C-alpha cells in the first residue's frame, strides 16, 4: 500500500537537510519539501527516523468518507480530504497567499500543504469562501506549481485530533491579531497629530477581515463541529470599542 507522509521540518538547517537524505535512502519519494510518498514496507524505519518531527500518515481511499462531528471525549474523524500542495516562484508576494488563506477554510498539514473537505460546496452553498479548486487556480495564476490529491484520509485518529487542535489555535491567533490592531487604533484615536481618516480606513479593513473569519468559523463548525463563537467575541468587542472611540472624536 502506498501512503503519504507529512512532517514538521526542524528549525535547525543542518537537521532539516539531513531528513530528506535519510528518507531517500529508505526508498521514499519526495512530492514536496515535507511531503513524501512511502511504501508500507518502509513505514517502521521511516517513522523511527521522523520520531521527533511529528509525522502524520495519510492514504487514498476508493470511497468518500464523511467526517465525524466532534463530540465530548470522542476522537474526531476528518473524513475524505482534498490535499493541495504547491511551490511558488521566489519573487511572488507571500503576503498575498497569507491573505488568501484567511478566506480559505482548510487544515494545514505542513508548509505549503493544505487539506480541504472533499465536498465543500455542500457546506458553502453561497460560495463566500475559497475551496480547493479556486485555491489551486489562484496559486497557478501566481505562477505556482500545484499538485492535488483527492479522497485522502488521515490514518491515525490521534493525528486528526492534533491537526484539529492546531487549526483551532491558528484561527485564534488570527482573531487575536485583530484585537491587537484594534487596541493600537484605539490608542491612536487619543494620540495628538494622528490621522483620523487613516484610522477609520484601517478599522474598516479590520471589520472586513473579521466578517471573513466569522464565515470561516461557521464553516468549521458545519464541517468539523469546531465551535469558535466564544473566540469571536474578543475581536467583535475590540472593533466596537475602537469604533465608539472614533465616533466620539
Confidence of residue 69 (pLDDT cuts 50, 70, 90): low
Residues forming CATH 3.30.70.240 domain(s) in the chain: 1-58
Convert the pLDDT of each residue in 208-231 to its tens digit. 999 999 999 999 998 988 899 999
- pLDDT of residue 188 exceeding 80, the answer is yes
Confidence of residue 84 (pLDDT cuts 50, 70, 90): very high
Concatenated DSSP letters for the chain?
-EEEEE-PPPSSHHHHHHHHHHHHHTT-EEEETTEEEEEGGGHHHHHHHTTTS--EEEEE-SSPPPPBPP-TT---B--SEEEEEEE--TTS-HHHHHHHHHT---EEEETTEEEEETTGGGT-TT--S--HHHHHHHHHHTT-EEEEEEEEEES-HHHHHHHHHHHHHHHHHHHHHHHHHHHHHHHHHTSTT--HHHHHHHHHHHHHHHHHHHHHHHHHHHHH----HHHHHHHHHHHHHHHHHHHH-
Adjacent-strand bridge partners of 146: 86
User: What's this model's pTM, rounded to 2 decimal places?
Assistant: 0.90
Give percent above pLDDT 90 in the chain: 73
- pLDDT of residue 123 exceeding 80, the answer is no
- pLDDT of residue 75 exceeding 70, the answer is no
- pLDDT of residue 73 exceeding 60, the answer is no
Convert the pLDDT of each residue in 31-56 to its tens digit. 988 999 999 999 999 999 999 999 99
pLDDT at res. 72? 57
Mean pLDDT within 183-201: 92
Convert the pLDDT of each residue in 134-154 to its tens digit. 999 999 999 999 999 999 999
Mean pLDDT within 5-32: 88
pLDDT at res. 74? 61
- pLDDT of residue 18 exceeding 80, the answer is yes
Confidence of residue 193 (pLDDT cuts 50, 70, 90): confident
Q: Among 1.10.10.10, 1.10.260.40, 3.40.50.11540, 3.30.70.240, name the CATH number for the domain at 1-58.
A: 3.30.70.240
Range in 25-29, 39-43, 76-80 with the lowest mean pLDDT: 76-80
Amino acid at each position: 500500500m502506498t501512503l503519504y507522509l507529512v512532517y514538521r521540518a526542524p528549525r535547525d538547517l543542518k537537521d532539516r537537510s539531513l531528513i530528506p537524505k535519510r528518507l531517500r535512502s529508505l526508498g521514499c519519494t519526495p512530492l514536496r519539501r515535507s511531503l513524501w510518498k512511502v511504501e508500507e514496507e518502509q513505514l517502521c524505519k521511516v517513522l523511527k527516523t521522523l520520531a521527533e518531527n511529528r509525522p502524520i500518515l495519510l492514504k487514498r481511499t476508493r470511497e468518500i468518507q464523511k467526517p465525524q462531528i466532534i463530540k465530548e471525549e470522542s476522537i474526531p474523524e476528518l473524513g475524505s480530504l482534498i490535499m493541495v500542495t504547491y511551490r511558488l516562484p521566489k519573487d511572488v508576494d507571500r503576503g498575498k497567499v497569507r491573505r488568501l488563506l484567511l478566506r480559505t477554510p482548510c487544515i494545514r498539514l505542513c508548509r505549503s500543504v493544505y487539506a480541504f473537505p472533499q465536498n465543500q460546496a455542500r457546506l458553502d452553498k453561497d460560495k463566500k469562501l475559497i475551496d480547493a479548486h479556486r485555491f489551486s487556480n489562484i496559486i497557478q495564476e501566481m505562477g505556482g506549481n500545484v499538485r492535488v490529491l483527492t479522497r485522502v484520509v488521515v490514518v491515525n485518529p490521534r493525528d486528526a485530533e492534533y491537526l484539529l487542535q492546531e487549526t483551532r489555535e491558528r484561527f485564534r491567533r488570527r482573531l487575536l491579531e485583530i484585537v491587537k490592531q484594534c487596541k493600537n487604533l484605539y490608542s491612536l484615536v487619543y494620540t495628538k497629530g494622528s490621522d483620523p481618516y487613516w484610522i477609520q480606513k484601517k478599522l474598516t479593513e479590520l471589520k472586513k477581515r473579521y466578517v471573513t473569519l466569522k464565515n470561516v468559523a461557521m464553516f468549521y463548525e458545519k464541517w468539523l463541529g469546531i465551535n469558535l463563537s466564544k473566540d469571536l467575541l474578543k475581536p467583535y468587542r475590540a472593533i466596537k470599542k475602537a469604533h465608539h472611540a472614533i465616533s466620539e472624536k
